[in-house]
């Protein structure tokens, strides 16, 4: 079935550093891919998505490109802020679960001033 694997955290960075969170997927066909973010004490919220191969999703300075050749959807941000400290989840629909979103294990990011 469809699944995602993302790098384990925590990732600790200084403000203005470059952030990359790796996500690779296994899927039948070419499903949409998503990044959700969970800020401390809150529920998950959609950060960005890409609906087909070579699409680039972007939001709040974050970007991720849907690469079918490497089955990856890595999340990047050029200059992180303290407010980006959160847990980031890569996700894709899982046909085995009625096409509900299946999430990776989450990567905790801590940005220090």
For another protein, give the closer residue by CB, 75 or 94: 94
For another protein, give the closer residue by CB, 79 or 97: 97
Distance between CA atoms of residues 109 and 86, nearest Å: 5
Backbone dihedral angles phi then psi of residue 96, each to the nearest 5 degrees: -65, -20
107 token code pair: 């990567």
Q: Where are the alpha helices (DSSP H) in 1-113?
A: none
**Residues at the interface with another protein (CB under 8 A):** 31-32, 34, 36, 41-46, 89, 91, 93-94, 97-106
For another protein, give the closer residue by CB, 43 or 113: 43
């Amino acid at each position: 079935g469809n699944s995602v694997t993302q790098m384990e955290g925590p990732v600790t960075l200084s403000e203005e550093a470059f952030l990359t969170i790796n996500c690779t997927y296994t899927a039948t066909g070419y499903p949409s891919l998503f990044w959700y973010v969970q800020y401390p004490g809150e529920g998950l919220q959609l950060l960005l998505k890409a609906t087909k191969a070579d699409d680039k999703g972007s939001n709040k300075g974050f970007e991720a490109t849907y690469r079918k050749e490497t089955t990856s959807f890595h999340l990047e941000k050029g200059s992180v802020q303290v407010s980006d400290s959160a847990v980031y989840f890569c996700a894709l629909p899982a046909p085995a679960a009625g096409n509900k979103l299946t999430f990776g294990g989450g990567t905790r990011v801590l940005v220090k001033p």
